[in-house]
Amino acid sequence: MDWTDRHCRHFWRQLTHRSRLYTEMVTTGALLHGDIDRHLDYGPEEHPLALQLGGSNPQDLAQCAKLAEARSFDEVNLNCGCPSDRVQNGRFGACLMAEPELVRDCVAAMREVVDIPVTVKQRIGIDHQESFDELRDFVGIVAEGGCEVFIVHARKAWLEGLSPKQNREIPPLNYAWVYALKQQFPHLTIVLNGGIQDLEECEQHLTKVDGVMLGRAAYQTPWLLSTVDSRLFGDKDPAPNREYVIAKLIEYIEIYLASGGRLNHVTRHILGLFHQQPGGRLFRRTLSEGAHLIDADASVLLAALAEVTQRISKESVVE
């Protein structure tokens, strides 16, 4: 939420063409009673793209799935992993792991009205759920509704006592259970999520499961995505260097600003582009200090890049 908006996804697409991108979680109420265009608009370059839905009413989810298919999304994903209080109060997110039959019915209702894949993102359990058998049973029951792809965050969600941020860090990772799911359900696509920091770890997990999902690592250290296409898909990487990415972003930014947008809406997602690189801290500071100003334009991004270039030149001279 508030991370993978269309600007973030456009940025990531400069780094990888093959990875599947996911929208922020959109609630069924927001789609059925709110601004559909605001939630469902995206650029054609974002494919393959999945719409992530939050909800627990089968009929409402089916209606939203039809909207997603009409907008040419490549997948509809039902969120059964978000642990926030607001989500629990709406009876969706991670609390749905206590109601596998309801999740099955939600998936079945969506599958009945769309041809695109309907998938589920979940945890390995919640609060009182302590056994692998409960996780296995949840997946088995939901699969009866027609779900063939399960994206499993390898941590439990503690719905009482921990904040959403703490729920991404404190519950211990249990990759073995996700591996075991693949062994139990070889005909299903099992995707592992949670705690993955780099492509070396991705490659290791892919010997045990069908896919991997990156979250915070992709956001905080986005340049790691620049070799995903070659290392994980055997394809050509789209971005030869970071300067190329910035040049492509400036084209996008100028169009967005001309439509009335603000620079920081885009640049807030790229602060980690030069993570652990010479001048990376100056790059972040220049963007953070200048991009939020009312009249900020692409020159702020160029100035941030210049800080990096100057730092690299100084280090080269010293050497």
Among residues 233, 267, 288, the one where a domain terminates is 233
Which residue shows structure tokens 């265009």? 37
- Rg for the chain, CA atoms, rounded: 21
Q: How far apart are CA 212 and CA 80, in angstroms?
A: 17
Question: Does the residue 287 lie in any domain?
Answer: yes
**Residue 11 burial by Cβ neighbours in a 10 Å radius (0-12, 13-18, 19+):** buried
CA atoms 32, 38, 39, 43: torsion sign: positive
Count up the domains in the chain and report the number. 2
- In 3D space, the residue among 155, 141, 68 whose CA is nearest the CA of residue 107 turns out to be 141
Among residues 233, 256, 272, the one where a domain terminates is 233
Residues 149 and 298 grouped into a single domain: no
The whole domain housing 20 covers 6-233
Instruction: Give residue 220's identity as a one-letter amino acid code.
Output: Q
pTM, 2 dp: 0.94
Residues 189 and 305 grouped into a single domain: no
Residues 65 and 190 grouped into a single domain: yes
Residues 81 and 183 grouped into a single domain: yes
Q: C-alpha distances in angstroms, 109 versus 115, 144, 146?
A: 12, 12, 10
Q: What is the pLDDT of residues 78-95, one digit of tens each?
A: 999 988 766 656 678 999
pLDDT of 103 = 98
Average pLDDT over residues 126-130: 89
Question: Does the residue 249 lie in any domain?
Answer: yes
Residues 98 and 225 grouped into a single domain: yes
List active site positions: 82
Residues 90 and 215 grouped into a single domain: yes
CATH number at residue 256: 1.20.120.1460
Residues 17 and 164 grouped into a single domain: yes
CATH number at residue 113: 3.20.20.70
Q: Is the pLDDT of residue 317 over 70?
A: no
Q: What is the pLDDT of residues 198-229, one digit of tens each?
A: 999 999 999 999 999 999 999 999 999 999 99
Residues 216 and 267 grouped into a single domain: no
Question: Does the residue 1 lie in any domain?
Answer: no
Residues 189 and 282 grouped into a single domain: no
Among residues 210, 233, 256, the one where a domain terminates is 233
Residues 174 and 261 grouped into a single domain: no
